[in-house]
């Protein structure tokens, strides 16, 4: 059974930082593209960041580019999202997701439908 467990969310003031962690089990972590998504109440789940296998290629939503950094540690089966200069509009439940690599060359995966396994989410609240 694939399991993804997010942690690190909480309440932070605007301009502050948080680091989210995603612990993966039940999969060969190194063969999975990892992503972070977020969902605010009444909103659709939206792409935040993705990191390809190997960890050298990343992509970000325009709204977080320059503020957030996605990373992975395959030896620890962990993915991370470092969030700096947080804004109230960053408030959402943040989800970690995994997608099995299915070809040698893969596109950047930025849609929720691209991902197969999801964590339960961790709440991030940014106060003004």
Task: Report pLDDT for 120.
Answer: 97
Task: Report pLDDT for 94.
Answer: 98
**Confidence bin at 124 (pLDDT 50/70/90):** very high
Q: What is the pLDDT of residues 15-37, one digit of tens each?
A: 999 999 999 999 999 999 999 99
The tally of CA atoms less than 13 A away on the side-chain side of residue 70 is 28
Task: Report pLDDT for 85.
Answer: 98
**Confidence bin at 92 (pLDDT 50/70/90):** very high
Distance CA 94, CA 124 (A): 7
For 103, other C-beta atoms within 10 Å of its C-beta total: 6
Task: Report pLDDT for 115.
Answer: 97
Q: What is the pLDDT of residues 28-80, one digit of tens each?
A: 999 999 999 999 999 999 999 999 999 999 999 999 999 999 999 999 999 99
Task: Report pLDDT for 19.
Answer: 98
Secondary-structure breakdown of the chain: helix, strand, coil percentages, each rounded to the nearest 5: 10, 50, 40
């Amino acid at each position: 059974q694939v399991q993804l467990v997010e942690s690190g969310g909480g309440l932070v003031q605007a301009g502050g930082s948080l680091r989210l962690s995603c612990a993966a089990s039940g999969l060969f972590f190194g063969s999975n593209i990892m992503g972070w998504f977020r969902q605010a109440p009444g909103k659709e789940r939206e792409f935040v960041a993705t990191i390809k296998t190997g960890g050298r290629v990343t992509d970000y939503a325009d709204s977080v580019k320059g503020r957030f950094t996605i990373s992975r540690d395959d030896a620890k089966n962990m993915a991370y999202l470092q969030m700096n200069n947080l804004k109230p509009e960053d408030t959402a439940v943040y989800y970690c997701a995994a997608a099995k690599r299915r070809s040698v060359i893969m596109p950047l995966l930025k849609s929720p439908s691209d991902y197969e396994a999801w964590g339960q989410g961790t709440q991030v609240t940014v106060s003004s």
